[in-house]
Structure 1
Amino acid sequence: SVNTEEFVKELKDLEIDFIVVVAFGQLIGNLLLEEFHDRIINLHPSILPKYRGAAPMQFTLLNGDKETAPTTMLIEKGMDSGDILLQNVVNVDINDDYYSLENKMSNLGSKAIKYTLLNFDKLYVNRIKQDDSKATFTKKISKEMGNINWENDSFAIYNQIRALIDYPKAYFHYEGKNVKVLESEILDSYQGNPGYVYEADSKNNIIIGTKNGAIRINKLQFPGKKAMDTKSFLMGNDFKKGIYLDD
């Protein structure tokens, strides 16, 4: 725990200037907050006050946002509610998934922390108080969030697949098995027919209907099997065409 008197004393003895918090699971308590008042800096991967909480990058992708930002901020007692020091907005590409966005935000975030530390006095004077009325909060990602509902529109399902590629991975039910989807693309040339398997061959891959179109599955993983591109999978395995997938 970072909230013990022993730990705080150890930091005091080191005569440190700042504490930097990145993806840290513990809440910072009063002992640290009082001893290092306005010297605890947090790096948060969202455009605060949007997406406070545990999974900002996943929800950026789930909601199809076109921009985000690594934000450096002062830590206070609230959840990601401290004053903003630096916020550099960046584009979220339609082809970004969680891994590519995490890598992008990691690179930009390290630069943001360095700049914040080297220019702290100037940034502190010009710090921006968050508007709590505009705050949104994310929840912890659960396994159930990966379950694809084909009644949703294509863009929502595509976002679900790319947002949850790390955990739990988006999945659908096929003959009693949970099949994970790792890569996909949106097809607009199909009429909405949710859950219907339009195609299942090595030429077209697997095409499944949604509320307003279809999704082509380009990479998948069956239980107990390694992840494969769909074309390779279909060369050695059958997948039924012309059926409706289980709910």
Structure 2
Amino acid sequence: MSKIIFMGTPEFSTKVLEMLLAEHNVIAVVTQPDRPVGRKRKLTPPPVKQVAVEHAIPVYQPEKLSQSQELEELIGLNADLIVTAAFGQLLPESLLQSPKLGAINVHASLLPKYRGGAPIHQAIIDGEKQTGISIMYMVKKLDAGNIISQQAIDIEVQDDVGSMHDKLSFLGADLLKETLPSIINGTNDSIAQNDDEATFASNIRREDEKIDWSMSAEAIYNQIRGLSPWPVAHTIMDGENLKIYASRIEKDKNGEPGTIIETTKKAIIVATGSNDAIALTDIQVAGKKRMLTANYLSGVQGTLVGKVLS
């Protein structure tokens, strides 16, 4: 049975790892170091490490893989194949070249679209109707290797990053399960990517989370769901941060962009740069927990109408 090194970090990667553990011989897992999480900054292992520990698989956690002691140890394992899924680091060329079957990546987009670290977020932000999984051979250039297999999935209008993340994690595991025999047997017909068609999905920056109310309602709606439930779109109300987890488009309602033009029992309705407004339905005000807007409004004294979000 082929010896496999798996490399991944977040929840997305765990479904792929679980499939490999059930079907193949995983000899080592490589993931990012434990990080402080939450207000108490408790040191927490990444999800992939938790799965590996449960199955008694050796875990490597280099801060930076290149020129590390761990790199030499991994090469010395003489693995037949490396499988990565949302690992979070570029692999040194010496490691890419060490397994006889090469290194493959399970990537959450239909390559060559959305190369990079935030393909699920960016596809939703851009209003795409479809995304998918690509399984490809890894090369030194980011997400640019030959494609072995792909499978598309629809992005429904109500989907956000959380729902698409879950759908794609299962799809990735299933597609890899189908594809691995052809990789191990060397019978697949991989196809070179067209670099001219490549687009990129860089990791989300803090400035990408801020809502510009002069944009169209559709663009703002896509931004909100493309950042929910993490890292979350935000705006400023009364000088404090207001996080927005969910919204809907209100047709044919307009006003000065960013102005609260109406409230209902369940929503705060904000004018945008188009003829439609955005109804905020799931929010988090500074110092409070996430809540339905209905619950927030039940405790508000006075009116919010006329306030300007920035």
TM-score, normalised to structure 1's length?
0.91
Contact 1:38 1:74 in 2 (8 A): no
Confirm whether residue 40 of structure 1 aligns to residue 127 of structure 2: no
Distance 1:190 1:83, change over 3 A: same
Give me the whole-angstrom Cα distance separating, in 2, the residues matched to 1:114 and 1:239: 57
Are residues 197 and 7 of structure 1, via their aligned partners in 2, closer, same or farther at CA, if it must alter by over 3 Å? closer
**Of 129, 148, 161, which residue of structure 2 is paired with 1:98?**
161
Report the counterpart of residue 273 of structure 2 in structure 1.
Answer: 211
Aligned counterpart in structure 2 of residue 142 of structure 1, from 200, 205, 208: 205
- Cα-to-partner distance string for 1:209-230 (whole Å, 9 max, x where unaligned): 1112101111111011011111
Asked if 2 retains the 8 angstrom alpha-carbon contact of 1:3 and 1:31, the reply is no
Specify the code of the residue in structure 2 equivalent to 1:185: R
The secondary structure found in structure 2 opposite 1:113 is helix
**Are the aligned partners of 2:182 and 2:188 in contact in 1 as well (CA < 8 Å)?**
no
Aligned to 2:13: none
Contact 1:182 1:220 in 2 (8 A): yes
Aligned-partner Cα distance in 1 for 2:302–2:164: 32
Change (3 A) 1:22 1:180: same
Matched, 1:109 2:172: yes
Q: Distance in 1 between matches of 2:300 and 2:68?
A: 61
Pair 1:187-2:256 in alignment: no
> Structure 2 vs 1, CA of residues 218 and 179 (structure 1 numbering), >3 Å: closer, same or farther?
same
* Contact 1:197–1:240 (CA under 8 A) maintained in structure 2: no
Q: Which runs of 5+ in 2 are unaligned?
A: 1-61
Query: CA, structure 1 residues 132+239, in 2 after alignment: closer, same or farther (shift >3 Å)?
Result: farther
TM-score normalised over the length of structure 2: 0.74
User: Is residue 16 of structure 1 aligned with residue 79 of structure 2?
Assistant: yes
* Aligned twin of 1:178: 241
Percent of matched pairs sharing the same residue: 35
* Equivalent AA in structure 1 for residue 118 of structure 2: A
- 1:239 & 1:182 partners in 2: Cα distance? 24
- Inter-CA distance 239–28: structure 2 relative to 1 (3 Å threshold): farther
Runs of 4+ in 1 over 6 A off after TM superposition: none
Following TM superposition, by how much is the alpha carbon of 1:132 offset from its aligned partner in structure 2, in angstroms?
A: 0.5
Within 1, Cα distance between the matches of 2:66 and 2:187? 25
Across the aligned residues of Structure 1 and Structure 2, the Cα RMSD in angstroms comes to: 2.1
Q: Deviations over 1:102-139 (max 9, x none)?
A: 00000000111212212226775411100001111122
* Cα contact 1:197–1:244 (8 A) shared by 2: yes
Q: How big is the shift at 1:18? A: 1.2
Shift of the 244–122 alpha-carbon distance from structure 1 to 2, 3 Å rule, reads: farther
The one-letter amino acid paired with 2:102 is R
Q: 1:243 to 1:205 in 2, by over 3 A?
A: same
Aligned residues, how many?
Answer: 246
Indicate the residue corresponding to 2:287 in structure 1: 224
In 2 relative to 1, CA 206–139 (structure 1 residues): closer, same or farther, beyond 3 Å? same
1:244 Cα deviation after fit: 4.4
With 84-93 and 158-167 compared, the bigger mean Cα shift is at 158-167
